[in-house]
């Protein structure tokens, strides 16, 4: 890497690890601009960007949960408990409003905490129809996208015209495409960026203005040289909805004889999987994006009879040549717990070695994970053809 | 004695006699369902809001997934289904209704391998004490909880993606608009119409499945009975505001199944008329539901089905009449005035939206505090229902509101809808005793707000 590119990379890493500092800088450069807390996983950031706001996908800030304990039961997923804690301790005051479009009951629970503790703040739920095969779903989703636009216009005081929205769509597409290329080249054998670096790139794209992010990422990649994968066991990481797996865990995976070649994590391919159509009515294009996203990589929070996460996973494994799959299941994540047996069944039938790791917000048993990953690596190695 | 559950010393509870009649009606319903296929009926599995009048009018036999899981748990027969679910890969932290029911699906498939009896785990029949027939198709009608919708999506997959499925989507009544409120505002009106339109689509789907035109008159007739049963239930509930209380929350829990999935007919109306009359009779004769009633409490959470009898005795032992709860006052055809029996679709849609997990916290606060005031309650008990995130989500907020706005205390205890292993008796006992002592102290000091003074 050149000095300029490593400096750009450092800035991306800085944003990923400290979104608060970036928001502070953005506010200074955009006096009066609104910073919106966006909750995962399907909210169209484009609509907020087109209104001149900064749409920040709220990250699990990995702080221990203190006051949030008194607000949300301990058997809620780590992400939602962390959100409640951010609200209770004032760390959420960073944002001017909250916008969400998803209906995971645990996310709704955390969003209620924000609404109740911050009664003067706009906390908007524009619920996207989650049953994707309903014949009325396309019209309903388009209607909801228009409602979200109206609410953003009302909140920011800025109209979101079709041209501005198209520009935001193009900007987000450009950034998504660039990051997707990195994931594609990784599946094809490129190993220049570690899973932690890729995660930092993706997190920073969820926080930053997409135009700025794209420019900075181009700079960061300018000095990057191709690196071939070594001989470690190729694994696909699957799952981990809504929030990023801990960096330590990604490091343990790659320290235990495995190398990540692909994923369907939210902080991975899932977030970037699909572009929004750049022609036609942009609201209809966002509705179409929402529908296609769940076909590109099916999500267990949606119900769709003709889109199968298990089928997707097997295809992805074949495509990347992954030798094993590690399921990363955030503890108490109900949609994932419901779908997991279907994934397990499909991989078993295809004879793909797999391992389920239940991740916790606090107190993750990394050493026991290491032992289990090493056992998975052993199993996968025994399947490699023996050359004499 | 670690982990042991001590039996309450003296049974001070005086349960309604009518609930035994309800128990027989429910047993008959299940027996009927178990033989439905032999009688040439098509069978629908459904979850969520009470669609049974639709199925009744379409000439189907119906199985409500949560109800079946609750029944197994109440009879302590959930073990084999939960084990089958666990072997299939369902985590013990998953909603225990769903994993019990999905376990039944797994057993059903194992049981039908090689034969087409369509009977749940033929080899396990004795253990399950249930002969649940496999479905011909699914209908999902879950409001509020996303797990409810995903659960049927997964049942569809467990059955090999071969059976038809129809899904009704319910907007969460979040309250985005300034005019939003309980039964009012633009959001309520729009959501009601949206769900009503889907129910009309469902009718088309049912016609396709049965090959018969839908009988709208039969729907009106069944909804006429259900509306009347709902009114009688409300009258009975209102009578329980009397002091001392003539019947409790636990009696109404025993009447959940009849109002939630028994056919709409004269027998249902008679049942709720008799329940109301029995309650009125107790008032007339000065008979109370709890011997020496001393405290009146609210219970929030879905029922811990394995513990119904035990909890009713336990609370009574402490002189506690549990009188209201989200799962009773704010569920199950609770607003019968919304039903127009000549065209019941809109009123039905509205009841599905009124599921107690489908409201924003503001509405829940309104409903909970209203019931606390109307029933003259001294405190709240929150059943922190371990695997039901839908019910538990707003509980801490509701406890805070009750404390801040009415000055009444709360306790939390952990348990679960259909998994007894999460229940911790010692915690409930010690917290309950502490709360009752605190209520005593406050009564002595006369510091309870108006309407909450001691009556005993
Ligand atoms: S989808 Fe999973 S991780 Fe996301 S909010 Fe719901 S339970 Fe939590
Ligand atoms: S989590 Fe609760 S509300 Fe949701 S499906 Fe299970 S029992 Fe029903």
Whole-number Å distance between alpha carbons of B50 and B348: 9
- Residues β-bridged to residue B349: none
Q: Are B133 and B112 in contact (CB under 8 A)?
A: no
- Starting from the CA of residue B385, give the closest ligand: 2
Q: Sheet holding B43-48: strands in order across?
A: B61-64, B43-48, B137-141, B165-167
Is A106's Cβ below 8 Å from some Cβ in B?
yes
Q: Which pLDDT belongs to residue B113?
A: 52
Report CA(A243)–ligand 1 centroid distance (Å): 8
Residue B280 pLDDT exceeds 50? yes
Give the single-character DSSP code of A117.
H
- CA–CA distance from B344 to each of B61, B337, B388 (Å)? 21, 11, 31
CA torsion sign, A313 to A140 to A133 to B69? positive
Residue B2 pLDDT exceeds 50? no
pTM, two decimal places: 0.95
Q: Is residue A111 within 6 Å of ligand 1 at its C-beta? A: no
A265: phi then psi, degrees, rounded to nearest 5: -70, 155
Q: Which pLDDT belongs to residue A3?
A: 81
By Cβ distance, the residue of B93, B394, B395 closest to A337 is B93
Q: Is residue A106 within 6 Å of ligand 1 at its C-beta? A: yes
Residue A385 pLDDT exceeds 80? yes
A4: phi then psi, degrees, rounded to nearest 5: -65, -45
Q: Which of A364, A337, A355, A335 is nearest to A247 (CA)?
A: A364
**A346, two tokens:** 């499909």
Whole-number Å distance between alpha carbons of B45 and B38: 17
Q: Which pLDDT belongs to residue B340?
A: 98
What is the value of ipTM here, to two decimals?
Answer: 0.96
Q: Which of A262, A319, A264, A273 is nearest to A296 (CA)?
A: A273
Q: Is residue A41 within 6 Å of ligand 1 at its C-beta? A: no
- The mean-pLDDT minimum among A61-65, A106-110, B114-118, B268-272 falls in B114-118
For residue B244, is the peptide bond before it cis, meaning its omega torsion is within 30 degrees of 0?
Answer: yes
**B234, two tokens:** 């409300």
Give B448's pLDDT tier (boundaries 50, 70, 90): low
Q: What is the mean pLDDT of chain B?
A: 92
Residue percentage of chain B with pLDDT more than 90: 87
Q: Is residue B98 within 6 Å of ligand 2 at its C-beta? A: yes
Is A129's Cβ below 8 Å from some Cβ in B?
yes
B283: phi then psi, degrees, rounded to nearest 5: -65, -45
Q: Which pLDDT belongs to residue B115?
A: 46
> Inter-chain contact B156–A305, Cβ cutoff 8 Å?
yes
- CA–CA distance from B338 to each of A200, B222, B252 (Å)? 53, 15, 22
Nearest atom, ligand 2, residue B151 CA:
5
Q: Which pLDDT belongs to residue A153?
A: 98
The topology (CATH level 3) of A19-156 is Rossmann fold (3.40.50)
Q: Which pLDDT belongs to residue A314?
A: 98
- The mean-pLDDT minimum among A352-361, B13-22, B129-138 falls in B129-138
pLDDT in tens, B398-435: 999 999 999 999 999 999 999 999 999 999 999 999 99
User: Nearest-CA residue of chain B relative to A358?
Assistant: B91
Q: Is A332 left (phi over 0), alpha (psi -120 to 50) or beta?
A: left
Q: Is residue A330 within 6 Å of ligand 1 at its C-beta? A: yes
Domain ranges of chain A: 19-156
Specify burial of residue A384 (Cβ count, 10 A radius: 0-12, 13-18, 19+): exposed
Q: How many helices (H) and strands (E) does chain A have?
A: 15, 8
- Among protein residues, the one with the nearest Cα to ligand 2's atom 6 is B95
Give B7's pLDDT tier (boundaries 50, 70, 90): low
- The mean-pLDDT minimum among A219-233, B124-138, B189-203, B256-270 falls in B124-138
A95: phi then psi, degrees, rounded to nearest 5: -105, 150
Domain ranges of chain B: 17-111+128-445
- Among protein residues, the one with the nearest Cα to ligand 2's atom 8 is B148
Report CA(A379)–ligand 2 centroid distance (Å): 38
Q: Which pLDDT belongs to residue B128?
A: 57
Give A386's pLDDT tier (boundaries 50, 70, 90): confident
């Amino acid at each position: 890497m050149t000095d300029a590119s490593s400096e750009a990379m450092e800035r991306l890493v800085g944003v990923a690890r400290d979104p608060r500092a970036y928001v502070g800088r953005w506010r200074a450069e955009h006096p009066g601009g609104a910073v919106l807390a966006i909750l995962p996983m399907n909210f169209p950031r484009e609509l907020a960007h087109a209104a001149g706001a900064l749409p920040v996908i709220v990250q699990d800030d990995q702080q221990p949960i203190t006051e949030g304990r008194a607000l949300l039961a301990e058997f809620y997923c780590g992400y939602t408990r962390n959100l409640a804690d951010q609200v209770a301790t004032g760390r959420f005051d960073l944002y001017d409003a909250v916008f969400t479009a998803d209906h995971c009951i645990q996310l709704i629970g955390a969003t209620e905490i924000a609404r109740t503790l911050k009664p003067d703040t706009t906390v908007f739920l524009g619920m996207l129809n989650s049953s994707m095969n309903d014949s009325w779903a396309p019209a309903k989703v388009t209607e909801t996208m228009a409602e979200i636009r109206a609410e953003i216009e009302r909140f920011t005081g800025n109209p979101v015209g079709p041209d501005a929205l198209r520009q935001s769509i193009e900007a987000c597409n450009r950034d998504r495409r660039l990051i997707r290329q990195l994931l594609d080249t990784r599946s094809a054998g490129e190993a220049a960026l570690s899973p932690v670096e890729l995660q930092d790139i993706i997190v920073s794209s969820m926080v930053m203005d997409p135009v700025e992010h794209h420019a900075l990422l181009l700079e960061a990649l300018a000095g990057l040289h191709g690196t071939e994968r070594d001989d470690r066991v190729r694994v696909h990481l699957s799952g981990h909805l809504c929030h990023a797996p801990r960096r330590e865990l990604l490091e343990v995976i790659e320290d235990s004889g495995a190398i990540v070649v692909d994923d369907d994590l939210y902080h991975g391919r899932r977030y970037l999987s699909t572009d929004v159509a750049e022609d036609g009515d942009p609201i209809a294009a966002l509705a179409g994006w929402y529908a296609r996203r769940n076909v590109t990589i099916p999500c267990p929070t949606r119900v769709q009879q003709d889109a199968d996460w298990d089928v997707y996973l097997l295809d992805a494994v074949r495509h990347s040549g992954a030798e094993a799959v590690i399921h990363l299941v955030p503890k108490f994540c109900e949609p994932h717990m419901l779908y997991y047996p279907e994934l397990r069944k499909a991989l078993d039938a295809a004879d793909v070695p797999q391992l389920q790791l239940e991740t916790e917000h606090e107190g993750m048993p990394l050493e026991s994970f290491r032992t289990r990953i090493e056992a998975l690596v052993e199993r996968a190695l025994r399947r490699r053809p023996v050359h004499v | 004695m670690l982990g042991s559950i001590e039996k309450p010393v003296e049974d001070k509870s005086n349960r309604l006699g009518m609930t035994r009649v309800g128990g027989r009606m429910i047993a008959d319903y299940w027996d009927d369902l178990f033989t439905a296929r032999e009688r040439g009926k098509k069978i629908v599995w459904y979850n969520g809001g009470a669609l049974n009048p639709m199925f009744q009018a379409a000439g189907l036999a119906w199985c409500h997934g949560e109800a079946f899981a609750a029944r197994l748990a109440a009879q302590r027969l959930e073990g084999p289904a939960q084990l089958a679910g666990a072997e299939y890969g369902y985590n013990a932290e998953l909603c225990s209704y769903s994993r019990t029911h999905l376990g039944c699906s797994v057993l059903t498939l194992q049981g039908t391998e090689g034969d087409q009896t369509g009977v749940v785990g033929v080899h396990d029949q004795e253990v399950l004490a249930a002969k649940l027939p496999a479905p011909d198709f699914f209908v999902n009608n879950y409001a509020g909880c996303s797990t409810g919708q995903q659960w049927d999506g997964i049942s569809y997959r467990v059955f090999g993606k071969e059976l038809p499925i129809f899904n009704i989507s319910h907007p969460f009544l979040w309250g985005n608009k300034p005019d939003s409120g309980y039964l009012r505002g633009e959001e309520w009106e729009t959501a009601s119409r949206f769900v009503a339109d889907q129910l009309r689509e469902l009718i088309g789907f049912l016609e396709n499945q049965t090959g018969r035109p839908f009988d709208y008159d039969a729907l009106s007739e069944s909804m006429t009975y259900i509306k009347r049963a709902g009114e009688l239930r409300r009258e009975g509930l209102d009578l329980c505001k009397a002091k001392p209380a003539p019947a409790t929350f636990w009696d109404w829990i025993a009447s959940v199944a009849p109002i939630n999935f028994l056919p709409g007919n004269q027998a249902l109306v008679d049942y709720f008329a008799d329940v109301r009359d029995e309650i009125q009779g107790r008032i007339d004769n000065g008979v109370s539901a709890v011997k020496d009633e001393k405290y009146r409490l609210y219970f929030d959470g879905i029922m811990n089905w394995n513990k119904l009898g035990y909890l009713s005795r336990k609370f009574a032992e402490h002189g506690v009449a549990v009188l209201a709860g989200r799962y009773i006052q704010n569920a199950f055809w609770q607003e019968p005035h919304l039903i127009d029996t000549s065209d019941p679709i809109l009123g039905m849609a509205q009841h599905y939206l009124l599921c107690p997990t489908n409201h924003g916290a503001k509405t829940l606060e309104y409903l909970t505090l209203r019931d606390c005031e109307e029933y003259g309650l001294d405190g709240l008990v929150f059943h922190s229902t371990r695997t039901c995130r839908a019910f538990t989500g707003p509980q801490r907020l509701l406890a805070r509101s009750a404390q801040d706005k009415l000055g009444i205390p709360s306790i939390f205890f952990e348990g679960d809808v259909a998994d007894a292993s999460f229940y911790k008796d010692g915690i409930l006992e010690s917290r309950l005793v502490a709360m009752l002592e605190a209520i005593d102290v406050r009564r002595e000091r006369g510091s309870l707000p108006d309407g909450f003074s001691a009556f005993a």
